[in-house]
Amino acid sequence: MYANKRVFWRQNKAKLFLLIVGFVSFNLCLHAQSDEQVSEHKGTERVSLTQYVNPFIGTSNFGATHPGAQYPHGMASVVPFNVAFGKEEGNIFEKDESWHSRPYVHENTFLTGFSHVNLSGVGCPELGALLLMPTSGELELDPQKYGSTYTKEVASPGYYSSHLNKYNIRTEVTSTPRSGISRYHFPAGKNHIIFNLGLSLSNETGAMVKRVSDTEIEGFRTIGTFCYRPEDIRPVYFVAQVSQSPSASGVYKKMPEYKNVEAEWVKFNNSYKTYDNYFQAMAGDDVGAYFTFQHEQATSIEVKVGISYVSIENARANLEAEQPKFNFDRTLEQSTAAWNKLLSRVKVKGTVLNKRLFYTALYHMLIHPNLLQDVNGEYPIMGSHRIGNTQGKDRYTTFSLWDTNRNVHPFLSLVYPELQSAMVNSMVDMAKESGWMPKWELLSMETDVMVGDPAAIVIADTYLKGITDFDVMSAYSYLKKGSDTSQNNPLRPESVDYNSLAYVPIDDEGSWDGSVSTSLEYYLADFAISQLANALGKPDDSKRYYQKSLGYKHLLDPETGMLRPKFRSGEWFTPYNPELGRNFEPAPGYVEGNAWNYRFYVPHDVPGLIEALGGSDIFLAELQRCFETNNYDMANEPDITYPFLFNYVEGSAWKSQKKVKQLINKYYADKPSGLPGNDDAGTMSAWLAFSMLGLYPVTPASTEYAIVTPQFEHIEISLSDKYYEGNTLVIESSSQQKDEPFIESVHLNSTKIDSFFVDHTQLVKGGTLRFQLQSTPNTSVTEH
């Protein structure tokens, strides 16, 4: 359990413990106590690894993660929402004043509720809806007025708590896969619970709410327009229940602004109107419900909220299945246990700081994708408003594939193959439902955000890693369709040119961005397809897609050594400044980055690239120059493999070891700003987690990991019985001294590894990967 700086948790543990005792149940205190006090050196069964997770990491520096309560891959989450209004109360970031994708920002101070559907670590505003807020005194329904500053923030996986200063209310929240529960510790007096369906991070609007009884409401809220794209939207359905009968309750709606003489007569002009005891459905842009309580003494009230993307009935069924009673403590226990079970798949020995970084990274990787199906198996079919049934399988959603194909899915394949299998199955089902593989899928909506065809990489990589329990032949046919369809191809809209020219020309940029970036992603995807074709015994296909994947050479400009935008005519784009785009200004040919960020982005043919650039020395010099000139962006996906590329040059692997360690130290920390930037649905975290294990999957759709120095003296990965031969993979380092950061040699079991690469298929047979470390760089020649 983690407390942020404001609480001085570590400085003042006893004091906080007493504070908590004052507010939460004895049960919870035991929980908090055990998290903090049971050492990892005790029997492994009793170790709670959740103590190492700091949910506040990434909540500053635009990391965009949230510190709220979430079950692993949960559809629901309960997140403190502090990005609306509050400038006077100290808020720095306002959701409507910039491109703002965060329901919570650590620097902010003004809380306007707890949202029940949320995204973590994404770059576009969406969800952040179904806001529950406890207040005291006279009922106020304007969030700008009822918002409160807060102190005493505490968060751990599945738990968040803070104290609302304005009302003297202690809040606690936790969740199940499809529901949230909040416990509000009210002072004596008049108290309220407000369910706000107007305010949200989503730019969609409109909601319906209906009181079912004094203690229950139901309805829906429309969400969508991810990345300000208006194409696709959905309702999120909910059922909310309070644990105590209110003394009054009703629904409310913000009334429009009346001008002219009508303004004299209407009682609610541009203000919130209450409908006390109204039992019909209420709809509008800004509606909600309230429950008012008159407490003679301080009282705790719990509120459960079940959600569904199918129907109100399903939201109720989800809630009843996962939280049949009001039992905050039990729900919290279950969530904590679920997190601990997943985190325990990897056990490490090392510094507390490194453990906190590592387990928080794991935690961040296990938030998205999310479960989409309800407890009865129903879910919205991809790109449709029809309802399907998973028939017992899990259906995942929220695939930020341009990001996560790079390392999140490879990490899941290694450590959580059963999850990766389920996700790939979901992706194949999406293709079957919509005709196309997903790209940035959100709640069965294809948002078409970013470029490329990342599903091909995920599918091929997963299969090659040995996770084959999905309909690979169907998957393969959709991958081929994605690559080969030139006309009307929503997945690869630039495939007309790409398939005829072998690159995407810059001629038509303007309506879209990034001809070079798009080409590079297509090459990579085609490489993945070629590798899958090979595995499936289709050598002709494999050869053809491999040839496509080498098209990058068409864009390699001998003059600048850059992957440079080219016209359809074959002429290079001129004038050309490779530095352009470093600060997110438009850079013709590139999307989200500049030419340097894409310069070495041919991870499927690094040796070929090295050769094409003029050999190892030039490559090495230019790679070095990339870092030295500040053209390496740790927070930008296309270049995040660059630190590992030194491994490809004989005698230089120590530079990767050094660079990776430097980058970890520079960009990752056990504090809110402890991510290099937007976590991108776990991608920044996965970079850290892999790096700390000493492994990194540079080449997608291959079984090869680049090797760097592990950040732990002992790592134990429990391998899946179902997918892998081995029981456990141990990664051991001879030393974890700060003065021995370099690899002298690596042995897998008794076999010395001759390169700075190791094969996945070997690792998952189990055993020990033993690192012999030393204090000086090992410049001896190794082979790749």
CA-to-CA dists, residue 251 to 182, 275, 278, 360, angstroms? 20, 5, 7, 40
Cβ proximity to a second copy: between 216 and 333 the closer is 216
- List 26, 42, 88, 259, residue binding a second copy (CB under 8 A): 259
Cβ proximity to a second copy: between 388 and 482 the closer is 388
201 phi-psi bin (left φ>0, alpha ψ -120 to 50, beta other): alpha
For residue 366 the two structure tokens come to 């296990």
Taking the complex as a whole, the smallest distance from the CB of residue 124 to a second copy amounts, in Å, to 10
Cβ proximity to a second copy: between 127 and 422 the closer is 127
For residue 349 the two structure tokens come to 């020995």
Which burial class, exposed, middle or buried, applies to 666 when counting CB atoms under 10 A from its CB (0-12, 13-18, 19+)? exposed
* CB-CB contact of 688 with 668 (8 Å): yes
683 three-class SS:
helix
- List 14, 26, 45, 267, residue binding a second copy (CB under 8 A): 267
Which burial class, exposed, middle or buried, applies to 74 when counting CB atoms under 10 A from its CB (0-12, 13-18, 19+)? buried
For tokens 């033993």, the residue is 770
- List 285, 571, 611, 725, residue binding a second copy (CB under 8 A): 285
Binding mask 18-37 for a second copy (x = CB under 8 A): --------------------
Taking the complex as a whole, the smallest distance from the CB of residue 59 to a second copy amounts, in Å, to 22
Compute the C-alpha angle 141/145/150, nearest 5°.
110
| Separation of alpha carbons 329 and 236, rounded Å | 26
Taking the complex as a whole, the smallest distance from the CB of residue 279 to a second copy amounts, in Å, to 4
- List 17, 275, 572, 627, residue binding a second copy (CB under 8 A): 275
- List 283, 535, 556, 730, residue binding a second copy (CB under 8 A): 283
Q: Using the rule CB under 8 A, give the single segment among 221-229, 321-329, 547-555, 596-604 that binds a second copy.
A: 221-229
Total Cβ atoms within 10 A of residue 19: 16
* CB-CB contact of 241 with 303 (8 Å): yes
- List 88, 97, 296, 628, residue binding a second copy (CB under 8 A): 97
Taking the complex as a whole, the smallest distance from the CB of residue 385 to a second copy amounts, in Å, to 4
Cβ proximity to a second copy: between 233 and 242 the closer is 233
For tokens 């226990």, the residue is 333
* Binding of a second copy by 447 (CB under 8 A): no
Q: Which DSSP symbol is given to 302?
A: E
| Separation of alpha carbons 215 and 208, rounded Å | 17
Taking the complex as a whole, the smallest distance from the CB of residue 170 to a second copy amounts, in Å, to 34
* Binding of a second copy by 207 (CB under 8 A): yes
* Binding of a second copy by 261 (CB under 8 A): yes
Cβ proximity to a second copy: between 258 and 627 the closer is 258
* CB-CB contact of 179 with 318 (8 Å): yes
* Binding of a second copy by 450 (CB under 8 A): no
Q: Return the closest-CA partner of residue 367 out of 679, 768, 760.
A: 679
* Binding of a second copy by 228 (CB under 8 A): yes
Can you give the three-state secondary structure of 442-484, one letter per residue? Answer: ECCEECCCCCCCHHHHHHHHHHHCCCCCCCHHHHHHHHHHHHH
Q: Using the rule CB under 8 A, give the single segment among 224-232, 365-373, 393-401, 717-725 that binds a second copy.
A: 224-232
**Range 368-387, binding a second copy (CB under 8 A):** 385
| Separation of alpha carbons 33 and 27, rounded Å | 10
Cβ proximity to a second copy: between 225 and 421 the closer is 225
Taking the complex as a whole, the smallest distance from the CB of residue 96 to a second copy amounts, in Å, to 5
Taking the complex as a whole, the smallest distance from the CB of residue 177 to a second copy amounts, in Å, to 23
**Range 232-251, binding a second copy (CB under 8 A):** 233-235
Binding mask 383-422 for a second copy (x = CB under 8 A): --x-------------------------------------
| Separation of alpha carbons 549 and 604, rounded Å | 8
* Binding of a second copy by 205 (CB under 8 A): yes
For residue 253 the two structure tokens come to 């709606």
Cβ proximity to a second copy: between 247 and 271 the closer is 271
* Binding of a second copy by 262 (CB under 8 A): yes
Alpha-carbon torsion (484, 490, 494, 497), positive or negative = positive
Cβ proximity to a second copy: between 219 and 578 the closer is 219
* Binding of a second copy by 584 (CB under 8 A): no
Taking the complex as a whole, the smallest distance from the CB of residue 266 to a second copy amounts, in Å, to 6
Q: Using the rule CB under 8 A, give the single segment among 60-68, 228-236, 538-546, 615-623 that binds a second copy.
A: 228-236
- List 22, 90, 137, 230, residue binding a second copy (CB under 8 A): 230
Total Cβ atoms within 10 A of residue 80: 26
| Separation of alpha carbons 563 and 506, rounded Å | 12
* Binding of a second copy by 567 (CB under 8 A): no
| Separation of alpha carbons 762 and 169, rounded Å | 55
| Separation of alpha carbons 195 and 304, rounded Å | 11
- List 281, 337, 352, 618, residue binding a second copy (CB under 8 A): 281
Which helix (H) or strand (E) element contains residue 718?
strand 714-718
Q: Using the rule CB under 8 A, give the single segment among 254-262, 294-302, 425-433, 755-763 that binds a second copy.
A: 254-262
- List 6, 99, 571, 776, residue binding a second copy (CB under 8 A): 99
Cβ proximity to a second copy: between 97 and 783 the closer is 97
* CB-CB contact of 699 with 604 (8 Å): yes
* Binding of a second copy by 225 (CB under 8 A): yes
- List 17, 268, 567, 572, residue binding a second copy (CB under 8 A): 268
Q: Return the closest-CA partner of residue 125 out of 160, 157, 168, 96.
A: 96
773 three-class SS:
strand
Q: Count interface residues toward a second copy (CB under 8 A).
A: 42
- List 48, 61, 109, 203, residue binding a second copy (CB under 8 A): 203
* Binding of a second copy by 253 (CB under 8 A): yes
* Binding of a second copy by 96 (CB under 8 A): yes
* CB-CB contact of 563 with 596 (8 Å): no
For residue 777 the two structure tokens come to 């760089």
CA atoms within 13 A on the CB side of 72: 18
By residue count, the chain amounts to: 784
Taking the complex as a whole, the smallest distance from the CB of residue 204 to a second copy amounts, in Å, to 9
Contacts of residue 677, Cβ cutoff 8 Å, sequence gap at least 6: 61, 62, 63, 634, 635, 636, 684
State the residues that interact with a second copy by CB under 8 A: 96-99, 203, 205-208, 220, 222, 225, 228, 230, 233-235, 253, 255-256, 258-262, 265-268, 273, 275, 278-287, 385
